[in-house]
Amino acid sequence: MQIKYNSKPDKTKRKRAMNISIVGTGYVGLVSGTCFADLGVNVTCVDRDSQKINRLVYGAIPIYEPGLDNMINRNVNDKRLTFSSDYKKGFIDQDFVFCAIDTTASEDGSTDLGPILEIAKDFGENITRYSVFVIKSTVPVGTAQHVTKIINETLEERGARNIKFDVASNPDFLTEGNGIKDFMKPDRIVIGTETVSARQAMERLYRTILMHNNRTVIYTDTRTAEMIKYAATSMLATRVSFMNEIANLCEIVGADINIVRHGVGSDSRIGPKYIFPGCGYGGTLFPQDINDLIKIGSEHNFDMEILKAVENVNNRQKRILFKKLYNYFKGDLAGKTVALWGLSFKPETDDMTAAPAIDTINLLMDAGCNVRVYDPVAMNATKRRWSNVYCGLDMYDAVKGADAVLLLTEWRQFRIPAWHDVKKLMKTPLIIDGRNVYDGAELEDMGFTYYCIGR
């Protein structure tokens, strides 16, 4: 996405406002940084990827997030938001330095804390006055204390023991596609600190959001804050996998998962969210956090049995649309043309990380199918990944000559297709609905064969 700033990005900061730098200008860093700027804070977004920063300086927004382009434009023009790849400079004269980088796994599967500890070291080497190092990345329990030790050692080596600092854990609960709303109106803000000064600084920072929204803030120690993040993500993923397993059983015993879901979700102790059956979850968040928590357990000789099952059920679920297709054609898939609607792991994002579409496309290609796809925003990632997948000009172009249409992501524009046109364009009128959004009876009346999940 390309936007045009009214003025040239300017590095002059406004006087007296708080200064924040955010290291890691990905989903979390860019959304949080832009939202903080919109609340009147001077924000420098820093990233080691200088190309990404250069593109941002010239108005190219690296992610799709509804409303973000306008907000970036406004804050760059108002000189509250700047971008830099010189991140050591980003530590000078800052009230807060947020760490929002992505964490990757080391060879043994545990989270590689190396990059975060490097940033902590740079922070210790460069700060010139009291500053708070805030960990927004999802990190193993105990990381904030590790970071504190590194900064203390670095200041000691510098002979700058007189410079005070604090470390806070402020895990992020942003959901891609709802990032701005999640930041401005969060369900809760979790603030983990070990000192009174850190807690007071964080209170000051979040005052604007809290003032207007009457939101819940959970003040705790850093270890508990780190654990809350993992536990929350794991609970959501567990609900999804649990309902997918119930859906699969519904199919076998002849029950209807949509009504089961309604019956279960109307229980006020359970609630309706994250119990929709489908073709599996993806994204960076669920798979990585679950993997991390399983690993944290095993490092302490504790077997996270439920989470292992959650992961296994999800891996199986990502293959379910292919399995339905395979059964329908009795394994005779070579040469069949299959159209996919939706590629991103959920609507309103271009993120295809661990998306069910990836497994599905790979299985289809291995089976010798011709694959045609359409997604409103994730087409570029698809073109880069598979040269032999046909990327449709629109959702109708994608279904031309198809023996089946598989719905993987419930983007709004797929909700009410012009079915008569779809049927005319397809070779075999077979719809496999991975998100249970269509009315099967209506489609069957129009002459389609329809499959979904759990009915």
Ligand X SMILES: NC(=O)c1ccc[n+]([C@@H]2O[C@H](COP(=O)([O-])OP(=O)(O)OC[C@H]3O[C@@H](n4cnc5c(N)ncnc54)[C@H](O)[C@@H]3O)[C@@H](O)[C@H]2O)c1
Binding footprint of ligand X on the chain (CB under 6 A): 23-29, 47-49, 52, 87, 100-103, 115, 119, 137-138, 172, 174, 176, 284-285, 288
User: Residue 87 or residue 91: which is nearer to ligand X going by CB?
Assistant: 87
Q: How far is the CB of 245 from ligand X (least distance, A)?
A: 25
DSSP state of 14: P
Q: Quote the least distance from Cβ 98 to ligand X, whole Å.
A: 10
Instruction: Please calculate the CA angle 120-125-129 and round it to the nearest 5 degrees.
Output: 95
Cβ 130 vs Cβ 91: under 8 Å? no
Any idea which residue has 């600190």 for tokens?
193
Rounded distance between C-alpha atoms, residue 144 and residue 193, angstroms: 9
In the complex with ligand X, which residue's Cβ is closer, 87 or 448? 87
Q: Which is nearer to ligand X, 49 or 93 (CB)?
A: 49
Say what the alpha-carbon torsion angle 112, 116, 122, 126 is, to the nearest 10 degrees.
-170
Dist. CA 375–CA 383, nearest whole Å: 11
Q: How far is the CB of 283 from ligand X (least distance, A)?
A: 7
Please name the residue that has the structure tokens 């006020």.
268
Whole-number Å distance between alpha carbons of 105 and 113: 9
d(CA 100, CA 29): 5
- Tokens at residue 86, please? 């010189």
Contact 168, 98 (CB under 8 A): no
Residue with smallest beta-carbon separation from ligand X:
26
Nearest-CA neighbor of 38 among 194, 175, 208, 198? Answer: 208
Of 224, 229, 166, 231, nearest to 192 by C-alpha is 224
Do residues 229 and 292 touch, judged by C-beta distance below 8 A?
Answer: no
436 CB-near residues (< 8 Å, 6+ apart):
257, 258, 276, 277, 278, 452, 453, 454, 455
Minimum CB separation of residue 295 from ligand X in Å reads 14
Of 48 and 146, the one with the shorter C-beta distance to ligand X is 48
Look at the block and give the residue holding tokens 């009410």: 416
At CA 275, angle to CA 270 and CA 276, rounded to 5?
A: 150
Residue 225 CB, shortest distance to ligand X, in Å, is 13
Which among 52, 49, 53, 115 is positioned nearest to 84, based on CA atoms?
53
Question: What is the smallest separation between the CB atom of 49 and ligand X, expressed in angstroms?
Answer: 4
Tell the smallest beta-carbon distance from residue 101 to ligand X (Å). 4
The answer to whether 3 touches 63, Cβ cutoff 8 Å, is no
Cα(328)–Cα(354) distance, integer angstroms: 26
Q: How far is the CB of 119 from ligand X (least distance, A)?
A: 6
Nearer to ligand X, 101 or 405 (CB): 101
CB closer to ligand X out of 191 and 405: 191
- Minimum CB separation of residue 90 from ligand X in Å reads 9
Output the smallest distance, CB 94 to ligand X, in A: 15
* Residue (172 or 245) nearer to ligand X, CB: 172
Nearer to ligand X, 101 or 426 (CB): 101
Q: How far is the CB of 142 from ligand X (least distance, A)?
A: 16
The Cα 194–Cα 181 span in angstroms is 29
Beta carbon nearer to ligand X, 17 or 377: 377
Shorter beta-carbon distance to ligand X: residue 171 or 278: 171
Which CB, 138 or 317, lies closer to ligand X? 138
CB 164 within 8 A of CB 130: yes
